[in-house]
Structure 1
Amino acid sequence: MFNLVKQWFWYDWLVLLFRICFSTSFMVTMCYLSEDFTIPFWIAFVWGVLSFSVPWFCLQLHYKYYLIAEILLSGGLCLYLAALFPESYVTFLPITFMIASNSAQKSYRWSAPITVILIPIMLSRLSQQMDAVSMILNIGLVYTLGFAFHLLVVNHKQSGIIKDQNAVLEQYISQVERMTLLEERDRLSKDLHDTVGHSYTSIIMGLETLRSEVNTPDGEQKIDALLKLTRNGLDDVRRYLHHVGSSQDSLTLIQSLQKLVDDFQTFSKVKIRLRTFGEAYTVSKQAQMTLYRCLQESITNAVRHGRASEIVISLHYEEKLIRLDVQDNGLGAADLTAGFGLNALKERASNLQGRVYFYSKPGEGTLVTCSLPRLEEIREETVRILLVDDQPYIRDSLRIILEKEPDFEIIGLAKNGEHAVSFCEQDQPHVVLMDLNMPGMDGAETTKIIKQKWPGVRVLILTTFQEADMAVEALQNGADGYLLKSTEPQELFEGIRLVHRGVKMITPAITNVLIDHYEMQPASEAQTEQINEYGLTPRELEILECLSKGMRYKSIAAKLYLSDGTVRNYASTIYAKLGVRNREEAVEKAFGTTE
């Protein structure tokens, strides 16, 4: 009851004051007119107390309960008084005003006939002070005034609701714009880092490999000029990435949620409490963004649709998951249907192997729960790497790229095979990143010596050459993997980790060369037809087959030794070639005719 009173507006207090004044004057008049306190007096007195209190309490529950109680108790009291004091029929006029002012929705269809017609006819017969028509007109006029006051109150409430909703929507739009901008800047920063930045590095490494093939002074000068231009471009990209990254929101999860709550409360009259349970730990940006969106969508819906006045937010840091609960005291719904925002939220959580649940019941508000698994960064064993290449800038470029990975440690840079063997004698590395074409002892021979002396050392060939004979020789000499220098950095990182774990890693480009070299069995006719029809490459068909099995991008990336972003790019290319929009349409179009 106290919570309801706290939500009253000025007109609610005005109606209560009017009711108190009317009831007080009624009691005083009764005491003044009664010469002695007879039984009829006490009946009217008790009846008056009930007619004041009972309808008012019923009004706090539901307006229909109030109308029934007011008509029966207050209307009956007026009829009783009219039988005792004929002039007391005027006491029904204030009651008529209150009945009309609380006839919400379509209740006036039955409250008006009873109040304006039935009761006045009965009063005219009991009091005999005024004919029924005149009494109906007078009471009807008061009922009209009361209903006009009701419309004024409704209009004021609707204006307040619209104003609050507009404020909430403006705040929501502002938050959406801000978060969308942050997401886009983060995506752009990553794309530039993974594409343009690494492309410049690959170009620089490629230009360095051409030095041995250019024997003229003009050629050397042109390569130096191209290298200078490329390095300047790479520096510009790095500066831009730093500028973009510096504007990212560096707040922790709790701080970002608290800021959202504070901003929301400044635009609305809703009381919001944020509580945390458990020891806080670091979560990924994707998880933080998902929880932020969940809270944003939940509190907005609670105010817009649930008309909530209080929201309790609980953030639980658990051992295996992190959970966000948003409970409001709004209207609730028996059948809560998820709109676009909630469906998008479910998809976000699903991409992180999380879940979003909704519970709502009329009169009990709505509970939204978003739970995400605790995806801690797995700190792998530090991989000690030896870089072997006769080109200094390639060694330096590889060192710069690899040192960005927290689990990689560059223990040395060797310029030829003899230098590499000497390094292995002093401090055996976990993985040797070996170039093939080097003066003196080449990569294949160096690999053979290292594997004979130190079988536990993994050797990963990294070269610009993809001739089958060189690849076969290196693999026969014990190489644990074979990659090209044109390999994307993320694939190079994963290749080093896989080789360190004992997995044989051979780039698909080399595999295709070996297959062609040894004239292995060609692809099936059905696959050839699909390639000819849609223009899909073997790698794209391989990814499409994984998609048809319901595998996620991360699972496909792990199976094919690719990065998550590379698989997503492949999927986008496949959808574009097939002219479809999603996984299901792609599988149906590509395999529907063959299944």
Structure 2
Amino acid sequence: MFNLVKHWFWYDWMVFLIRIAFFFSILVTVGYVSEFLTIPFWLTLLWGIIAFSAPWFCLQLHYRCYLIAELVITGGYCLYLASLFPDSYLVFLAPAFMIASNSAQKSYWWSGPITIILIPYLLANLTHQESTLSMILNFGLIYTVGFAFHLLVVNHRQNGIIRDQYAVLEQYISQMEQMTLIEERNRLSKDLHDTMGHAFISIIMGLETLRSEVTATDGEQKVEALLQVTRNSLEEVRHYLHQVDSPQDRSTLIQSLQKLVDDFQKFSKVKVRIRTFGEAYAVSKQAKMTLYRCLQESLTNAVRHGQASEIEIKLQYEEKQIRLEVQDNGLGTENLQAGFGVNAMKERAANLQGQVNLYAKPGEGTLVTCYLPRIVEFQEGTVQLLLVDDQPYIRDSLRIILEREQDFEIAGLAQDGDAAITMCEQMRPHVVLMDLNMPGKNGAEATKQIKMKWPEIRVLILTTFQETDKAVEALRNGADGYLLKSTEPQELFETIRLVHRGVKMIAPDITNVLIDNYDLPPYAVAPAEKPNEYGLTPREIEILECLSKGLRYKSIAAKLYLSDGTVRNYASTIYAKLGVSNREEALQKAYGSRQ
């Protein structure tokens, strides 16, 4: 009862005071006619108490229940008193006002005639009033005043709803602007990283390979100057990317959702409670953005369409998935129609191999559930890397490019094979990037000792030239892969991750040479697709297969554990190699050449 009363507005208190005044008028009337009562006094008083309270309780259930109770119980009581005391017909003025103020929709068609015509006619006959029309006009006037009061209340409630909805929409628009800026920052950051950052690294690596070919002093100085300019430019790009990152990106999922809930409660009168279950773990930016938008849309819909007053949020960290549940106590609906916002939520989740489910039932509110798989990107923890190269600039360049990947950590830098073996004993890295030509112990010898002592350590040969003899020696000594330093950065990233998972990888452009000219042990050479006539790499062929299935760039990125910008770069390279300008032409040309 207290919870009901504390939500009353001024018009609720006004009607309640009118009802109290009506009850006291009944007590006064009963006192006047007590000696003429045809039923016991206590029964008459009990009838009056029921006439005061029963219709009011019925009003909390439904307005039709109230109207029936008011007309039958209160109307009958007023007729009984009027039959004993003619002037007591005035007692029915208060119920007539309340009947009009609480009628709604089509109930006016029957509550109005009963209140204005039928009951006044019966009162006139019981009180022997000469002017029945005058009594009808009086009750009609009171009913009209009650109807005007009802319109005033409806208008006030609608204005309140509009104000609340406007506040929620303002908050929603503000958050949309913030999220749009965040998404644009992420897109710009990825594009700069996948284009300018990789371009600078490629230039640095290319200039380093030219260093050994430049013999003149002037040439060395020019190469050094170009390297310095390129490194400075790369540092500027990295500094700019750091500035582009927003505080939202650095906050955890729980912090982001809690801030959204706090902001939402400031602008609305809805009580929101958020609870977390399970041990929290890091999620990708895409997953965090999807869950954030899902909660944002659910909160807005709960207020705008469901008229909810309470919302409960559950965030569950499970072993294989993360689940967000948003339950409101709104109106609910029998036939739930998915609008633009709901479809957008489902599309975002589908891009991450997740799903959004909605359940609604009249009187039970709406339940929105968003499921996302825990591993939407390849994450096996941090990959510890040891970089082995006798050229300091090569080591620094590799360190710069590899540190940009969140799952890579540079455990150490070594200048030769002996230093590499010592650091492997101290650090036990996951993957060693090994150069072949180094003074002292070369890469092939160092690889042999490392694999003999620590077979769990992966060794990826990363060298400048296609030195097949040394490549064979390294592979016979247990190397897990062989790449050229001229390999594109994204290919290098993917190869390191695959080697870390135990896959044997050899650069496709030297695989055929090794197979044709050397008798290698079975473990040394990984199965590789024969390069087609357009020179597509295995990864490019894999992306082309995804494009043929109609997948979007975001879906391909999530499936192959790449960023959107990386997939776009691959697509551009594929189009360039095929000599086409769009997906349709690429598929037609590539698949046409296979038939």
User: How would you bin the TM-score normalised by the shorter chain?
Assistant: 0.7 to 0.9
Quick one: distance in 2 between partners of 1:556 and 1:187? 19
Q: Which residue number corresponds to residue 39 of structure 1?
A: 39
Change (3 A) 1:303 1:354: same
> Counterparts of 1:354-393 in structure 2 under 5 Å?
354-375=354-375, 377-379=379-381, 382-383=384-385, 385-388=386-389, 391-393=391-393
Please name the residue that 1:251 is paired with. Answer: 251
Cα deviation, 1:151-210, whole Å, max 9, x if unaligned, reads: 000000000000011011111111222223223323322332333223212212212322
- Distance change (3 Å), C-alpha of 1:81 and 1:240: same
Unmatched tracts of structure 2, length 5 or more: 518-528
Contact 2:388 2:433 in 1 (8 A): yes
1:491 is aligned to 491
Residue matched to 2:524: none
Mapping of residues 127-138 of structure 1, within 5 Å: 127-138=127-138
Secondary structure at the counterpart of residue 39 of structure 1 = coil
Shift of 1:264: 1.5
2:526 paired residue number: none
**Could you tell me how far 1:67 is from its partner in structure 2?**
1.0
Q: Which amino acid aligns with 1:557?
A: L
String of CA shifts for 1:222-249, please: whole Å, max 9, x gaps: 4344333222211211211222236445
Provide the rounded CA distance (Å) in 1 between the counterparts of 2:255 and 2:486: 42
Measured after TM superposition, the shift of residue 64 of structure 1 is 0.9
CA offsets 1:262-281 (integer angstroms, 9 cap, x no match): 22111111122223334444
Match of 1:185 in 2: 185
What root-mean-square deviation, in Å, do the aligned CA atoms of Structure 1 and Structure 2 show?
4.2
Q: Deviation at 1:31?
A: 0.4
Secondary structure at the residue paired with 1:107?
Answer: helix
Amino acid at match of 1:292: Y
Look up the match of 1:504.
504
Alpha carbons 1:336, 1:360 under 8 Å: kept: yes
- Cα pair distance change 1:13/1:74, threshold 3 Å: same
SS at structure 1 position matched to 2:292: helix
Distance 2:189 2:271 in 1: 37
Distance 1:323 1:54 in 2: 46
Aligned equivalent of 1:202: 202
Cα 1:555–1:504 shift into 2, 3 Å: farther
Q: CA deviation at 1:503?
A: 3.0
CA distance in 2, matches of 1:137, 1:588: 85
- 2:38 matches 1:23: no
C-alpha distance in 2 between matches for 1:143 and 1:117: 11
Shift of 1:96: 1.3
State the 1:69 CA deviation.
1.2
CA separation of 1:69/1:210 partners in 2, compared to 1, >3 Å: closer, same or farther? same
Q: How many angstroms apart in 1 are the aligned matches of 2:410 and 2:583?
A: 45
CA distance in 2, matches of 1:587, 1:137: 83
Q: Tell me by how many angstroms 1:522 deviates.
A: 9.3
| C-alpha distance after superposition, 1:430-477 (max 9, x if no partner) | 7664557x6999xxx966656777765866443555xxxx46555544
Give 1:346 shift.
Answer: 2.6
CA contact (8 A) 1:543 1:556 kept: no
Residue 121 (1) aligns with residue 121 (2): yes
Q: Deviations over 1:384-410 (max 9, x none)?
A: x35235x44123211343456665555
Q: Say if 1:331 and 1:364, in contact at 8 Å, map to a contact too.
A: yes
Matches within 5 A, 1:431-446: 433=433
* Aligned CA distance change for structure 1 residues 345 and 395 (closer, same or farther; 3 Å): same
Specify the alignment match of 1:103 in structure 2: 103
* Cα gap change, 1:318 to 1:514, in 2 (>3 Å): closer
Residues 17-55 of structure 1: per-residue CA shift (max 9 Å, x gap) = 101111111211220343366527555433322221111
CA distance in 2, matches of 1:237, 1:434: 28
Give the corresponding residue for 2:54. Answer: 54
Per-residue deviation, 1:115: 1.6
TM-score normalised by L of structure 2: 0.80
The one-letter code matched in structure 1 to 2:556 is Y
Contact kept in structure 1, 2:325 and 2:369, CA below 8 Å: yes
- Tell me, in whole angstroms, the C-alpha distance in 2 between the residues paired with 1:38 and 1:334: 52
Q: Residue 317 and residue 540 in structure 1: after superposition, are their counterparts in 2 closer, same or farther (change >3 A)?
A: closer
Contact kept, 8 Å, 2:399 with 2:410, in 1: the verdict is no
Matched, 1:300 2:306: no
Match of 1:557 in 2: 560
Structure 1: gaps spanning 5 or more residues: none
Q: Do the aligned residues in 2 keep the contact of 1:546 with 1:556 (CA within 8 Å)?
A: no
* CA offset digits 1:482-523 (Å, max 9, x no partner): 434343434313313434555332345556999999xx9996
> Structure 1: how far apart are the matches of 2:106 and 2:327?
32
Distance 1:331 1:191 in 2: 45
CA distance, structure 1, for counterparts of residue 423 and residue 574 of structure 2: 49
CA distance in 2: counterparts of 1:143 and 1:272, whole angstroms? 41
Say if 1:543 and 1:69 are closer, same or farther in 2 by CA, change over 3 A.
same
CA distance in 1, matches of 2:419, 2:60: 89
TM-score (norm 1): 0.80
AA at the equivalent of 1:387: V
Q: Note if contact 2:420-2:446 (Cα within 8 Å) is conserved in structure 1.
A: no
**Which letter maps to 2:173?**
I
Amino acid at match of 1:184: E
Summarize the Cα distance change of 1:286–1:136 in structure 2 as closer, same or farther, 3 Å threshold: same
In 1, the alpha carbon distance for the partners of 2:250 and 2:327 equals: 27
- How far 1:379 sits from its partner (Å)? 3.1
Q: Which amino acid aligns with 2:380?
A: I
User: 1:106-151 deviations in whole A, cap 9, x for unaligned?
Assistant: 3212211222222222322332314232222222111111101100
Q: Does 1:348 align with 2:348?
A: yes
Distance 1:265 1:381 in 2: 42
d(CA) in 2 for partners of 1:402 and 1:351? 27
1:156 and 2:159 matched: no
Residue 229 of structure 1: aligned partner: 229
Give the match's secondary structure for 1:334: coil
